[in-house]
Amino acid sequence: MSLLSWLLPRKKPVLSPEQQQRVLQLPAPPGLSEASLRQQRWVVVDLETSGLNLNRDQVLSIGAMVIEDGAIDLGQAFERTLLRPDNTLNPSVLLHGLSPEAIAAGSDPVDALLDFMAFVGDSPLLAFHAPFDQHMLGRALKDSLGYRLQHPFLDVAALAPMLCPQVNPREAGLDHWIRHFNLQVEDRHNASADALVTAELALILFSRARTQQIDSPLALQQRLNQWQRRKQAHSF
Amino acid sequence: MSKSDAFLQAGKTAVLQNIHGTMQFLQRFPPFNQMENTHLAFLVEQCQLRFYGPGESIIRPTDGPVDHFYIVKQGRVVGERTHVGREDAETTFEITAGECFPLAALLGERATRTEHLAAEDTFCLQLNKPAFIKLFALSDEFRDFALRGVSSLLDKVNQQVQRKAVETLGTQYSLNTRLGELAMRHPVTCLPDTALREAVRLMHEQQVGSIVVVDGHKAPLGIFTLRDLRQVVASGIQDFAQTIDLYMTPGPFYLSPDHSAFDAAIAMTERHIAHVCLVKDQRLCGVVSERDLFSLQRVDLVHLARTIRHAPRLENLISLRGEIGQLVERMLAHGASSTQITHIITQLNDHTVCRVIELVLADRGDPGVPFSWLCFGSEGRREQTLHTDQDNGILFEARDATQAAEIRQRLLPIAQQINHHLAACGFTLCKGNVMAGNPELCLSRAEWARRFAAFIREATPENLLASSIYFDLRVVWGDEQGCQQLRRGILEQVADNRLFQRMMAANALRHSPPVGRFREFVLERKGSDKATLDLKVQGLTPFVDGARLLALAHGVEANNTLERLRQLVTQEVIEALDGAAYEEAYHFIQQTRMQQHQLQTRENRPYSNRVDPDSLNQLDRRILREALRQAQRLQSSLALRYQL
């Protein structure tokens, strides 16, 4: 693959008729709701990728948990390792911990992504550093399915300092918040374990939001936008 | 594989990842650590994980019948009960990671009586009721746990105590074993008209030490043992064709097969017998011999009691003292509870006291006046541990003051010698001189009665303290009637004197149990006792004082704290549920205290009632905290009752 290959027009993905059918059946996401936070079904996602390059690196695995009726449903979860035969060993293997064998034994990315989108349905997504996951997932869906991701994403990494202003936001990694709330993670950097701990963090944040009279997904999004605008204004 | 199957399959593996993590968490706590993996996985798969912020209500009485079972994953849940006519809520319990609620309400299909609130950021696993019911049917361990609630946790602790003690002894045998499992299933029996010769031949053939004489319906009429045979031979009888009913011990003592090995051991000690018949539906179904009990468990209680009772000299008694310590260690190993052990220690101590008195009387000659040896305090309540002070006195009958003084002069030298001999046997001399050798404690019945009446009439701090020692009186040696009359007098006067009761209640609130509203334990902050709590003063004393007050005020004659609590429940002075909770809590604190003493002895450390909660394992610490909270509840109920 040449360095400039990303400049070339992308190849259109080749899907089987059955797969095409499934793409067409994916529900279109509505905007964020004005109903209560508790009524909203959320999908909390964590991606493990081959690296942090937004344009070159690939999604290697997807872990997701569901928040429904205000609680994490341990019976509903998603985890899939994607088959990436062309993925060579690079240093981030140390981070995501997926061995080349595990990746080679993964599922067809097309099927895995279709399964994931079926799992998501029309629910909004939550992730820690959501813009990264949103971008990586969006690109994977575009490349593999020719599907445009339009689901709203809320960034837990931004909600946390907004809702917990007393916490020193200088170090704002997931590990920082895990320590701050004394959460237990059995296997950090496993996509589904990370999704679970992010979901736990989200539950705490929803509870904090309610005490601050923010009680709908839409209100939460609006408050977050204001807060980010204000922060940017301050930093100039 | 179809697409939807593949989806399902993938879902399953993903589920396993996080389910596995949650299972690992649960496996650190009972009963989950004993459940089968498939059952535990079922539980976790059906769970929702919920978050509650500080002060947020989880379930409350107004929610109606409980629909969910909760396990605290992280954080702390407190129970708050509001009393009619009182503004503030009372924290009744605390639930932390790994603990479950609300079992009683869920099983009783009712609403909870206590509001459950998150005390801090708290995550709970929430299981819906249908899944709870299914799990209840699937898993025996879970069902046992759910049915027994906290008691099952206490059992776990007891088993843990046994395991630990057993490790040092290398044997596994419990004093709680049913006699039915121990006994000879086909006891050797004969009819009453059997010839002596024939009966002895049967015993010889079967290699047994006893034969039970039964009627045609297998009801036991008597027992004939090797000891009886020795007597028969020694008495020079020639005619062994005589029938056995002439030589048997009639009306043999019996227990049911459901009684425990402990019950049999106690019966043998009390009655000086070596065989106990087992009778069910009036039919003989087994015989347990001393040897059956002790060859198995090596707890030579009967032997020890008998040796004490027949010790020829003081030196023998002194050397037997060490054996009592070893016995206690062995009994803990065999699963005896603290109640059983204090009971045994009290009994062996009583035997020692009696023997010392007998030896002194034999030495100095009979004083010619009947007297009773009284004991007070923990000895009076039959709650002695190995480390015990003397608290005793003498009671005698006298016509008038002159005769009383004259008798006192005769008894005092004897009493003083008894005190000194007891000290040699390990009963430490009382620092406060509460001993029979003190002329003020060697009194006639009239003098005692006057003294006790003064305690009740003038409730000074000294008198209150004295009443907390003397009003637990009991006779160890001698006639019991005089003491009975004294006790009735006390009960009548206390029942009539509301002011005295109120002062005693205030006295019972002196030591508050060391648990805070939002902290685990409130510990000593300074000095050599830093970070410890006193199990006796802060843990047991509230129960002992509370039970004494309520017992005296309601005419309960029992002395023992647990017995007092039970009778108070029967008289509906305290609620049955509260009584059971107090009893369990008291029992647990006492058990912890005795384990500490054993540990101190083994490590050659000085004896102390102080414990550092951090040195206990997690389960013990949790239960200790709950037990102390029960002490707190008893105190606040006294405060309410006496409006303090």
Residues in B closer than 8 angstroms to A71, CB to CB, are: 48-51, 126
Q: How confident is the model at residue A70 (pLDDT cuts 50, 70, 90)?
A: very high
Please judge whether B15 and A77 are an interchain contact, meaning their C-beta atoms are less than 8 angstroms apart.
yes
**pLDDT of B1:** 39
**Smallest Cα distance from B11 to chain A, Å:** 5
Which chain B positions have a beta carbon within 8 Å of A206's beta carbon?
A: 51
Residues B10, A79: C-beta atoms closer than 8 Å: yes
Position A44 pLDDT exceeds 70: yes
Residues of chain A with Cβ-Cβ distance to B18 below 8 Å are 65, 74, 77, 192-193, 196
The average pLDDT across A69-87 equals 82
Name which of A184, A208, A211 is nearest B25 (Cβ-Cβ): A184
Taking the CA of residue B36 and the nearest CA in chain A, the distance in Å comes to 19
User: Which of B17, B73, B96 is most worth mutating to test chain A (most A CB atoms within 10 A of its CB)?
Assistant: B17
Mean pLDDT of A65-71: 94
- Sketch out chain B's domains with CATH numbers: 20-148 (2.60.120.10), 179-297 (3.10.580.10), 314-483 (3.30.460.10), 505-641 (1.20.120)
* Nearest residue in chain A measured CA to CA from B128: A73
**Mean pLDDT along residues B580-594:** 87
The CATH architecture assigned to A37-235 reads 2-Layer Sandwich (3.30)
Of A78-92, A163-177, B243-257, highest mean pLDDT: B243-257
Query: Mind telling me how many Å the CA of A80 is from chain B's nearest CA?
Result: 7
Instruction: Look at A112-121, A179-188, B332-341 and tell me which has the smallest mean pLDDT.
Output: B332-341
- Per DSSP, the three-state class of B206 is helix
Q: Do A75 and B47 touch (CB under 8 A)?
A: yes
Q: What is the pLDDT at residue B620? A: 78
Q: How many beta-carbon pairs below 8 A join chains A and B?
A: 98
Higher pLDDT, A118 or B577: A118
Overall average pLDDT of the B519-534 stretch: 74
C-alpha distances (whole Å) from B339 to each of B62, B123, B267, B385 are 40, 38, 16, 10
Query: Residue B167 pLDDT more than 50?
Result: no
Residue B57 has pLDDT above 70, yes or no: yes
Interface of A with B in 79-98 (CB under 8 A): 79-80
pLDDT of residue B406: 94
More confident call, B551 vs B150: B551
State pLDDT tens for residues B452-489.
Answer: 999 999 888 889 889 999 999 999 999 999 999 999 99
Subunit contact A200:B25, Cβ cutoff 8 A: no
Q: Tell me which of A15, A74, A120, A196 to substitute to probe the interface with B (most B C-beta atoms closer than 10 Å).
A: A74
Residue B15 has pLDDT above 50, yes or no: no
Instruction: Tell me which chain A residues have a C-beta less than 8 angstroms from the C-beta of B45.
Output: 74-75
B84 pLDDT exceeds 60? no
pLDDT at A167: 80
Is residue B226 helix, strand or coil? helix
B10 and A80 within 8 Å at the Cβ level: the answer is yes
Contacts of B158 (CB under 8 A, 6+ apart): B335, B337, B591
**Nearest residue to B477 via CA among B339, B356, B631:** B356
Residue A27: band (very low, low, confident or very high) from pLDDT cuts 50, 70, 90: confident
Give percent of chain B above pLDDT 90. 35
A 108-137: CB under 8 A from B:
111-112, 115, 118-119
pLDDT of residue B13: 46
Please judge whether A22 and B3 are an interchain contact, meaning their C-beta atoms are less than 8 angstroms apart: yes
Average pLDDT over residues A205-229: 92
Mean pLDDT of B38-49: 90
Contact status, residue B367 vs residue B410, Cβ threshold 8 Å: yes
The 10s digit of each residue's pLDDT in B209-246 is 889 999 988 999 999 988 888 888 888 887 888 999 98
Q: Which of A173-187, B144-158, B594-608 has the lowest average pLDDT?
A: B144-158
Residue A145 has pLDDT above 50, yes or no: yes
Q: What is the pLDDT of residue B176?
A: 61
**d(CA A185, nearest CA chain B) in Å:** 8
pLDDT value at B14 more than 80: no
* Confidence class for position A203, pLDDT limits 50, 70, 90: very high
Note the pLDDT of residue B185. 61
d(CA A162, CA A164): 6
Out of A74-88, B338-352, B409-423, B581-595, give the one with best mean pLDDT.
B409-423
| pLDDT confidence bin for B8, thresholds 50/70/90 | very low
Res. B295: pLDDT tops 60: no
Question: What's the pLDDT at B513?
Answer: 85
Average pLDDT over residues A71-81: 88
- Rounded average pLDDT over B402-422: 94
On whether the CB atoms of residues B642 and B550 are closer than 8 A, the answer is no
Indicate whether B273 pLDDT > 70.
yes
What CA–CA distance (Å, rounded) separates B599 from B601?
5
Contact predicate B490/B368, CB 8 Å: no
Pick B199 or B262 by higher pLDDT.
B199
Mean pLDDT, chain B, rounded, equals 83
Q: What is the pLDDT of residues B98-107, one digit of tens each?
A: 888 887 777 7
Cβ <8 Å between A193 and B18: yes
Q: Cis peptide before B31, with omega less than 30 degrees from 0?
A: yes
Question: Cα distance from B4 to chain A (closest Cα, Å)?
Answer: 9
Distance CA B602, CA B596 (A): 10
Q: What mean pLDDT comes out for the span A151-162?
A: 93
CB within 8 A of B164, min separation 6: which ones?
none
What distance in Å separates residue B543's CA from the closest CA in chain A?
A: 38
d(CA B19, CA B46): 10
Which positions ≥6 away from B337 have C-beta within 8 Å?
Answer: B158, B587, B591
Nearest residue in A to B20, CA atom = A186
Q: How much is the average pLDDT of A32-43?
A: 90
**Residue predicted with more confidence, B634 or B307:** B634
Nearest chain B residue to A64 by CA distance is B14
Measured CA to CA in angstroms, residue B363 lies from B195, B327, B495 at distances of 46, 30, 44
pLDDT single digits (tens) B353-397: 999 999 999 999 888 899 999 999 989 998 888 777 889 999 999
Q: What is the number of residues in chain B?
A: 644
CA–CA min distance A127, chain B (Å)? 17
- Tell me if A192 and B17 make a contact (CB, 8 A cut-off): yes
Average pLDDT estimate for A5-9:
57
